[in-house]
Structure 1
Amino acid sequence: MSNHEQLKRITDRIQSRQEPQKLSPASVWDPALSAEIESLSFTTPTAHAAVDKAMIALKAGLHLCNDSLDESHSYSQEIEDDSTGSYWHGIMHRMEGDYSNANYWFHRAGAHLSQANIQVRVSDYLRTDVDLEKLPQGAVREALQAIRDAQVWRAQVLTDAIAAQERGREQEETRTVLEMIQRIELSELLAFTVTAATK
């Protein structure tokens, strides 16, 4: 099986998840998938630093989509000067509940190229599929309104909303919405990362 076929099999498996990932995953989703991700390689004799960083970011992202937080972290730490690596790094810390560290890495990632698509999709989801006025009042609803109405994606706003949710200050009705937004964010960032690693 070629590396591209193997990558497609991995991404298809990740996309087959019926339920969105937990905001704070407690265990690896598919242990067998972790081994497949580890064996993935697009290194060629003509590979250069940008390709290597893209491949490292890809493994960080694939592991994170498999709820393998430790493995994802080990890869994102290798490319701390890379915007995509920093973005994956931030999401990893958000999932483990280290929210201030997550926001630090989102700041390091800067205006990532995936964020325009994330904002469009999330805003559309919040406008068409969610009646925000029916959600319980509180920090999460306020954050969701801010995300819906924003012109640019700010991962820090989502992080603050998730922090409020996970600290038990919000109703469970908002958890489903946050999980779907995280799913959109992960999907767009993974699509960007796959393209960067395989072009």
Structure 2
Amino acid sequence: MRTLGLTGGIGSGKSTAAGLLAARGASIVDADALSRATTAAGGPAIPAIAQAFGPDFISADGALDRERMRRLVFEQPAARHRLEAIVHPLVRAATDAAADEARRAGAALLVFDVPLLVESGHWSDRVDRVLVIDCEVATQLARVLARSALDEATVRRIVASQASRIERRRAADFVVFNDGLDITQLDVALGAIARSMGL
């Protein structure tokens, strides 16, 4: 089984790319979804987050108060490290389990969909190749503002907190520049990469 790390900045089209690769038969492990599950109501990270940050960071339904935590980590970088120290080991265990399941199922290509793959620095030993979905920052802003309730200042802060386009491209084995591509063109580009990875 070959492994491909898929990453890209917010609004790059990474999730669309993951869906297209899945349609071609790749097995997808969505690290962001697994991360959200750890901080959902009853998630395994909740007790440690409550202990480290206080009960105000847990919402009435027992999940992480994402908006409150987002504000804190933007204001205090050290808070981000404390949160990651809680969440990352849980996500690592969950992605390992998902990879083992895909391997047992006979998957030819396993794609780890990881928004912060470059930033984390923990993936180089887990993937054979890295695919970056890239686009202009202006395109990222337009896409996120069109699909979410976030304001422009918040989206700009998120973009600034992520690896730069240069940093992501430097880490990439494959780059798809997803600015102006329609879904068919994106699928064609991804198909060539998937075939080179044995799919």
Q: Which has the higher helix share?
A: 1
TM norm. shorter chain > 0.5: no
When normalised by structure 1's length, the TM-score is 0.31
Q: Which has the higher strand share?
A: 2
